Structure 1
Amino acid sequence: MAERIPSKTEIKRWRQYLADERAEASVYRDLAKRRDGEEKAILLALAEAEGRHEQHWLNLLGEHAGSPARASINNQILGLLARRFGSVFVLALAQRSESRSPYASDVDATAAMAADESIHEEVVRGLATRGRIRLSGTFRAAVFGANDGLVSNLSLVAGMAATGVSSQVVLFSGIAGLLAGALSMGAGEFVSVRSQRELLDASLPTQVTLTAAKSLDLENNELVLVYLARGMSREAAEHRAAERMGTFTCDCDPSLSLQPESFESADEHETLGTAWGAASSSFCFFASGAIIPIIPFLFGMTGIGSLILSCVLVGLSLMGTGAMVGLLSGASPLWRGLRQLAIGMGAAAATYLLGLAFGGVIGG
């Protein structure tokens, strides 16, 4: 059977595949350098799989492999980020890259390679999920606080400007909105965290079972009710109660015998620190967003030009935060950015129209 002679188009496509496989393997190796244990082993296994795909294209190219081609722009950026950061955002980008593999529709790629890429997406999704879970609380607070500051203060500035008041009044209104909103966010987070901590503390079991057990009535063992209320099965509750009351010492079924309750006392300074940390973070996140709409006014700009520049600055910021959310969630950064932009500008437009209406009423 005659050896297949690839066309120039095929050679170009295969060389691009080869470059991208090498780039993806390098990304996984770079990410593995920043991990240890199971995550490191998984990333190295992914790099090994990309190496097998690389060999497939080398075999097809043969003498046409030539000098290494440049990887796609996406893979070049991904490689740069992996070498510099190695964060969950890189894993989220890698997840999107794996989901866009062309192998499923390319006749020159094997079915096993296409299946590998599908599985790789799920593997990377799993690794990224670990980071998303670790990051979700802080990231949620950051995005929520910054966006709240951006949208609420732009809306306030736009509404005030529409009434026809002076730029100085708009500036002071924006500063007041920044401080009021940031203080409100900080106070709300402080109360929320402290209240949650107090609820959790009130739910912790006490050591009363250790001191009261020896005096309980064996015929009406209230201790069983304690363990039933804590979620144990009746068999496990009766077993634990018998242990506590000292009626036997032999554990015929060790799975029913739980360790004695030992609950660490809550550190008041740690509790306060957590609440104060949440409050200060929310204050800073909100303030960092709320200051952007008033930047033109801080530098002395006046008139409609200052409001337009304020909208542009806020729009870019909203696009940026939306894109970050998109990257972290594995969705389209552009779509998420545009969604954030539409929501923010919609709120500002609504308050601007209200400001025009109020200004007209007052002026009339």
Structure 2
Amino acid sequence: MRHSERHRTHRTGWLRAAVLGANDGIVSTASLVLGVAAAGASTRAILVAGVAGLVAGAMSMAAGEYVSVSSQADTERADLARETKELAANPAQEHEELVSIYVQRGLDRPLASSVATQLMAHDALGEHGRDELGISDTLAAKPVQAAFASAGTFATGAALPLLMVLVLPNVTLMWGLASSSLFFLALLGLLAARTGGAPALASVLRVSFWGTLAMGLTAAVGAIFGVTA
């Protein structure tokens, strides 16, 4: 009988960037809007600040993800280039490195040596990249993918608090925005957990806690400056 397993490790690259972008979009924009609103600004000023935060945040996320993940990719390429030279200069030593790795994982030495020989004959650099350096196609750095995922999800997340500013009356803006943003964050945590196959409750509590803290502190700053202005 064929047994089919559903693994989600291949999603970690874009899922991390997407969750980071959406979470940051909701938290930073909601916090910014709450801070400006707490200072007594008009609805127009609140929207202008929110839209500016959306654009700046999306571009910042894209640039930050691209630069940071590109640095990771550069390191991976440098390590693979170094490994290529070592394979050409001393293949016996590189073979022994793989044997030692497989022995540590539980194979006896004769079997480990046979496995290392066959795998190196098939793709020596690929095997050393995976087993010695921890670099694989699934987890390899993808700067462009990470940049687009973070920017797109940041903008989507940031648009939610701005939409609430448009539909909520001024009297209930502060509490309505805070509660709706927490709902969006909890929904994001649930979606991320389901997509990655992780426990939902821990994910929901994590994003809700930090979102509440960020919005509360920013609103307090806005209220302080609004009163003293």
Task: Using structure 1 for the length normalisation, give the TM-score.
Answer: 0.46
Contact 1:292–1:310 (8 Å) recurs in 2: no
Structure 1 residue 41 and structure 2 residue 2: aligned? yes
Structure 1 residue 164 and structure 2 residue 31: aligned? no
**Percent same amino acid at aligned positions?**
32
What count of residue pairs does the alignment treat as equivalent? Answer: 196
What is the one-letter code of the residue matched to 1:203?
A: D
1:325 is displaced (CA, Å) by 3.9
Q: 1:361 is matched with which residue? A: 228
Q: 1:292 is matched with which residue? A: 160
Q: Which of 344, 347, 352 is residue 211 of structure 2 equivalent to?
A: 344
Q: 1:324 is matched with which residue? A: 191
Q: 1:220 is matched with which residue? A: none
1:150 is displaced (CA, Å) by 0.7
The structure whose RCO (Cα within 8 Å, separation 6+) is larger is 2
Specify the SS of the correspondent of 1:41: coil
What is the one-letter code of the residue matched to 1:161?
A: A
1:148 is displaced (CA, Å) by 1.1
Distance 1:337 1:199, change over 3 A: closer
Q: 1:233 is matched with which residue? A: 96
What is the one-letter code of the residue matched to 1:293?
A: P
More helix by share: 2
Distance 1:171 1:190 in 2: 28
1:284 is displaced (CA, Å) by 0.3
What is the one-letter code of the residue matched to 2:40?
A: G
Q: 1:243 is matched with which residue? A: none
1:354 is displaced (CA, Å) by 1.4
Q: 2:105 is matched with which residue? A: none
Contact 1:148–1:286 (8 Å) recurs in 2: yes
Task: Using structure 2 for the length normalisation, give the TM-score.
Answer: 0.70
Distance 1:189 1:209, change over 3 A: closer
1:276 is displaced (CA, Å) by 2.6
Contact 2:30–2:158 (8 Å) recurs in 1: yes
Q: Which of 276, 279, 294 is residue 144 of structure 2 equivalent to?
A: 276
Please report the RMSD computed on the Cα atoms of aligned residues, expressed in angstroms: 3.4
Distance 1:227 1:310, change over 3 A: farther
Distance 1:277 1:209 in 2: 31
What is the one-letter code of the residue matched to 1:282?
A: S
Contact 2:14–2:145 (8 Å) recurs in 1: no
